[in-house]
Each structure stands twice: as structure tokens, then as C-alpha cells.
Amino acid sequence: MRIVLSGGGTGGHIYPALAIGKQVMAEEPGSSLLYIGSPKGLESRIVPAQGIAFEPVEITGFKRKLSYDNVRTVMRFLKGVRRSKQLLREFKPDAVVGTGGYVCGPVLYAAAKLGIPTLIHEQNAVAGLTNQFLSRYADSVAVSFETALTQFKRSRSTIYTGNPCATNVVRADKQAGFALLGIPPRSRIVLLVGGSRGAKAINDVMVDIVPLLGRLPDVHFVFVTGESYYEGTMSRIKAASPKLPARLQVLPYLHRMPEVLAASQLVVGRSGASSLAEITALGIPSILVPSPNVTNNHQEANARSLADAGAAEMIRERDLNAAALFGRIVGIMNDKHVHAKMGEAARALGMPDSAAMIVGELKRLTGK
């Protein structure tokens, strides 16, 4: 198969696209992939590092109020469509997959106009503007949350597949996670992470939690700050706790997150769609602090879907403090029944075959 992938701006759009590409290559060895993204987005660095051909298309998003910038955005969109058509004619894909972000707009629109089968994947419980726009042109829409099915009324076909990032994480080696951290196997780990770039609110509250960690003497805490926050956060932690607890690791970034996730018993973090797909696939209880600074407040909707199912507890950022968060951690880690029940609820929501389902839909669309 020859597949074009497009998605950009954040890891939440990029990693699902890469997971789909990885599944295509696993099922159809000898397939060819091309990734079309923004030259300024994270995809311009992440995708080439994965050994996948990358081509840039310039595009920006619309402002949510009347602005002359929107006129320029329309012009860039039309230019992006022309550039996308050129790339698609040269690559001759069997199908084009979009996973969200502004760059998908011209790419998927161009593919539809050229008569190439198209599929878009929506990661969040609240559909993004680009995917809502593209749904009227796409041949199929795949969603991560069942509640999102009703948000694509104009689409020709809408299917509930879950998030393809789940497929990658279930293959992770738990023992490798313990080894990476230098922690004895079967240790109890609480992983605190604010996403690939970190989260200031979580970092701030973790500074205040460090002195309390002795109340859970048999639990290892792995705290990932994000690279840009690491130095400042470490300085504040050392100022508050000159002698760091032996069972605390503070890291700027985790390059092999799936393995560490597989070894963890509780995750504290944001509620981006890819992260939730991974923790539900592994059946890990979580405490979610949705970011309030995202479009349509979609992270709160994501977190609410897990909390309502009993798989997670949610703390809004405005209610986040050390006592509230550490109390929730203690309550889950010290109660085997609560922990087990949350884990079962999380696993019931997980869809580890998501990537295979999406590739199956691509095969249906292309007749391969």
C-alpha cells in the first residue's frame, strides 16, 4: 500500500498518524509512507527521525474572530491545496489519512478533490474544527471516543476505533521499564507527567508534594517535568526538600514512555487523547488534571469520560493543590480494592486493536 499521513501541531496529532503508519508496514511489508506536515510543527522533527519521508506544506489556523489574518489564511489554504495536489500526484497514494491539526485541511481536501480515498481520525471527545470541516469530504471518519460519533453527521461513514497509540503501548516490555528506571521488578510506581512538554500546574504542585512522599514509603515516584521546566523545577524541589527522598526520580523527559507506563500502577497527568488511549489499553488507574488551555476544553471532556466510567479521578486545575492530589494518590495506592476496580474500568475502555481496525478500514476503502 502507498499511504500519505498528515497531522500536526502537537504530539496528540502526530503519534496516532505514526501508529497507523507502523501498523500499515506491519500488515503490508513493502508499503510506502509519505508524511505531509507543517515545516514549523513538531512533525518536521519527529517524523524524519522515524525514517519516514516528510514533505512540508505551509498553513496557519483561522482566528476565532473576524480578522484580516483570516484572509491571509484562506490564501495560504488555497496555496496549500495546490502544493498538496502536486505532492499527491507525484506520490500516487492508495489512501490519505489525516489525524488533525491545521495542516490536514489542504492535504485531505486536495485528496478528496483528486478522488483519492480519505480517512480522518479524531482523537478527542470533542471534535476539532479541522476534522469537522473535513468530515464532509472524507470517505470515512474514525473516532477515539464513542461519544464523538454523533459529531460527524455529514460524514459518509463514521466508525468507533479508539486511538491507534493504544496498539503500540500494549507491546511494551514492562521489565524494560523497571530496568530503565533502575527500580527492582514488581515495585509500585506512581508516574507523574504533564505531557511531552510538561505542565506548569503539575510541576508546581509536585514541588509541594515532595515533602509528603515519606507517607508512602513503599512507592516509587517518577516525576517527568518536561525539558523546559526541568532546571527551575529541580531548583525549587531542592530548596523545599534539601534531602530528596530515595524513592523519587525527577526527569526532564522519558524517551521510552511505553515501557515506563507498562511498569506503572498509577498515572497522574493531563488528559490528552493519546495518553488516555495508552493508560486504558494497559488498564492503569489515573488521576487526571485536564488542561484548561485547549480548544473547546476538550481535555475536560476526555477526562470526564474516564471518570464517569470509574477508570480515573479528575481534578480541575483550579482545584489542584498538594493536599488534594496527594490525598487522592494515597487513597488509590493504599486501597487494593479501589485500585483493582479502577484498573478493570480502564481496561474495559481500552482498545488495543485500534490501529489494526483503522488499517482494516483503509483496506476496505482501497479494495486492497
Tell me what pLDDT residue 293 has: 84
Q: How confident is the model at residue 320 (pLDDT cuts 50, 70, 90)?
A: very high
- Residue 10, marked binder: yes
pLDDT digits (tens, 9 = 90+) for 251-310: 999 888 999 999 999 999 999 988 999 999 999 999 999 999 887 788 999 999 999 999
Give the separation between CA 199 and CA 271, rounded to whole angstroms: 12
- pLDDT, mean of residues 144-173: 90
- pLDDT, mean of residues 67-77: 68
Answer yes or no: is pLDDT of 192 > 50. yes
* Mean pLDDT, all residues of the chain: 92
Q: Which of 213, 276, 204, 287 is nearest to 249 (CA)?
A: 213
- pLDDT, mean of residues 134-156: 91
Tell me what pLDDT residue 241 has: 82
- pLDDT, mean of residues 115-139: 92
- Residue 299, marked binder: yes
Tell me what pLDDT residue 63 has: 47
105, with CB counted inside 10 A (0-12, 13-18, 19+), is buried
In the DSSP assignment, the letter for residue 196 is T
Residues in the chain: 368
- Residue 11, marked binder: yes
Q: Which domains does the chain have, with CATH numbers?
A: 2-164+352-366 (3.40.50.2000), 171-349 (3.40.50.2000)
Tell me what pLDDT residue 213 has: 92
Answer yes or no: is pLDDT of 153 > 60. yes
CA atoms in the 13 A half-sphere facing the CB of 316: 7
157, with CB counted inside 10 A (0-12, 13-18, 19+), is middle
Q: Which of 149, 146, 136, 65 is nearest to 105 (CA)?
A: 136
**Alpha helices for the chain (secondary structure H):** 11-27, 43-49, 68-91, 104-113, 129-134, 165-169, 174-181, 200-209, 230-240, 257-263, 273-282, 298-308, 322-333, 336-349, 354-366
Those residues whose C-beta lies under 8 Å from the C-beta of residue 82, and which sit 6 or more positions away, are 110
- Residue 167, marked binder: no
Q: What H or E segment, with its residue span, contains residue 194?
A: none
Question: For a pLDDT cut of 90, what percent of the chain falls above it?
Answer: 74
In the structure grid, which three cell numbers stand for residue 258, read together?
511505553
Give the separation between CA 216 and CA 218, rounded to whole angstroms: 6
- pLDDT, mean of residues 327-347: 97
Provide the edge-to-edge strand list for the sheet that holds 266-269: 248-251, 219-224, 188-193, 266-269, 286-288, 312-314
Answer yes or no: is pLDDT of 193 > 90. yes
Backbone angles phi, psi at 321, to 5 degrees: -155, 170
- Residue 124, marked binder: yes
Answer yes or no: is pLDDT of 61 > 80. no
Tell me what pLDDT residue 127 has: 87
Q: Which residues pair with 143 in a beta bridge?
A: 122, 160
- Residue 269, marked binder: no
Tell me what pLDDT residue 84 has: 97
